């Protein structure tokens, strides 16, 4: 038996990844890393694999909670850890919200919480191990997704956004979201470099699930936009970038477990296809700034 940790596994992409992983290989045990244990328990009921699932609470908006999660995983009687899926994410467009530790919410949850979680469990990963970081095509302005392009100045600015006069606008919120998704790619690539590109037996890849109508990312949208996200966009599934959570969950599970991806590392996947990510995502200076600042922010919040 072997363990995979999936953050945000109670609904949507995380739940469907867990479902696909459990169905594909009876040797997997899944830790559903979720903010609400009751919803995690309900997800286990849906999966119907009580003996192969464990629910452990983690709130990525609280680094104390992340450290507690790491301690629980280390102390639990689980099969060896072979995979971590950094999937959970939030999108906030109704003003600047902050984590328990005072960081801007999307930077704190989408990037920093996962950074601390992975760092805390890296020595627990048993080779061959895989880490998959879920990003988004919105990190790449050349894709013309309709979202504003990322604006990476420094990680310190992302953690503590300066008062620039439009911080409460919906567009500013969307830009902070796309920038957090750029951080996911920068983190994944830098982690791969620090793990010697798979030489230590741990691979790191980044995943773009495509546009998934009905996902919880639209919960902070105005009512009409939420309705369109839930009911109108599913009709566009004939478009290549529009996918159901079930389809994207199967693609994500394949990156976690399929032999086809043995030894594959440092790549960006759109579904199951490896493609180039944005130009900024390959900027080593940007990645180093993010890494060093994340280490400092994590220590400061401890």
Q: What is the pLDDT of residue 145?
A: 86
Rounded mean pLDDT of 105-112? 98
* pLDDT, mean over the chain: 91
The contacts of residue 78 (CB under 8 Å, 6+ apart) are 3, 29, 31, 54
Rounded mean pLDDT of 159-167? 72
Helix/strand/coil percentages in the chain, nearest 5: 50, 15, 30
Q: Domain map of the chain by residue range? A: 2-301
User: Residue 92: pLDDT band by 50, 70, 90 thresholds?
Assistant: very high
Residues with catalytic function: 177
Query: Given a cut of 70, is residue 164 above it in pLDDT?
Result: no
Q: What is the pLDDT of residue 146?
A: 87
Query: Given a cut of 90, is residue 62 above it in pLDDT?
Result: yes
Distance from CA of residue 118 to its chain's centroid? 11
Asked if 81 contacts 63 with a C-beta cutoff of 8 angstroms, the reply is no
Dihedral of the alpha carbons of 114, 208, 187, 254, in degrees to the nearest 10: 70
Asked if 137 contacts 210 with a C-beta cutoff of 8 angstroms, the reply is yes
User: Residue 162: pLDDT band by 50, 70, 90 thresholds?
Assistant: confident
Query: Given a cut of 80, is residue 268 above it in pLDDT?
Result: yes
Least confident of 45-49, 139-143, 220-224, 250-254: 220-224
User: To the nearest whole percent, how much of the chain has pLDDT over 70?
Assistant: 88
pTM of the model: 0.91
Q: What is the pLDDT of residue 169?
A: 84
Torsion sign (Cα): 197, 65, 213, 252: positive
User: To the nearest whole percent, how much of the chain has pLDDT over 90?
Assistant: 82
Least confident of 56-70, 73-87, 132-146, 165-179: 165-179
What's the pLDDT tens digit per position in 199-251? 999 999 999 999 866 555 545 445 544 444 444 444 444 455 678 899 999 99
User: Residue 167: pLDDT band by 50, 70, 90 thresholds?
Assistant: low
Task: Provide the CATH topology of domain 2-301.
Answer: Rossmann fold (3.40.50)
């Amino acid at each position: 038996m072997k363990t995979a940790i999936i953050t945000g596994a109670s609904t949507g992409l995380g739940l469907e990844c867990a479902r696909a992983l459990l169905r594909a290989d009876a040797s997997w045990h899944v830790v559903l890393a979720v903010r609400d244990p009751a919803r995690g328990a309900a997800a286990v009921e849906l999966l119907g694999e009580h003996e192969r699932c464990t629910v452990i609470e983690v709130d990525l908006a609280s680094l104390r909670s992340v450290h507690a999660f790491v301690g629980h995983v280390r102390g639990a009687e689980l099969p060896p850890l072979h995979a971590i899926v950094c999937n959970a994410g939030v999108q906030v467009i109704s003003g600047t919200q902050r984590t328990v530790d005072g960081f801007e919410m999307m930077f704190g949850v989408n990037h920093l919480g996962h950074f601390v979680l992975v760092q805390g469990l890296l020595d627990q990963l048993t080779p061959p191990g895989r880490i998959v970081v879920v990003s988004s095509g919105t990190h790449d302005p050349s894709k013309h997704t309709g979202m504003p392009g990322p604006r990476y100045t420094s990680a310190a600015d992302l953690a503590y956004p300066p008062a620039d006069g439009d911080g409460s606008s919906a567009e500013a919120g969307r830009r902070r979201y796309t920038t957090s998704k750029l951080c996911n790619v920068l983190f994944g690539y830098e982690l791969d470099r620090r793990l010697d590109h798979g030489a230590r037996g741990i691979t790191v890849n980044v995943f773009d699930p495509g546009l998934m109508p009905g996902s919880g990312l639209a919960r902070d949208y105005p009512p009409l936009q939420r309705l369109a996200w839930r009911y109108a966009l599913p009709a566009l599934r004939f478009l290549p970038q529009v996918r159901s959570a079930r389809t994207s969950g199967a693609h994500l599970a394949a990156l976690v477990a399929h032999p086809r991806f043995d030894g594959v590392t440092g790549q960006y996947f759109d579904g199951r296809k490896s493609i180039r990510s944005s130009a900024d995502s390959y900027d080593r200076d940007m990645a180093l700034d993010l890494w060093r600042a994340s280490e400092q922010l994590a220590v400061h919040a401890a």
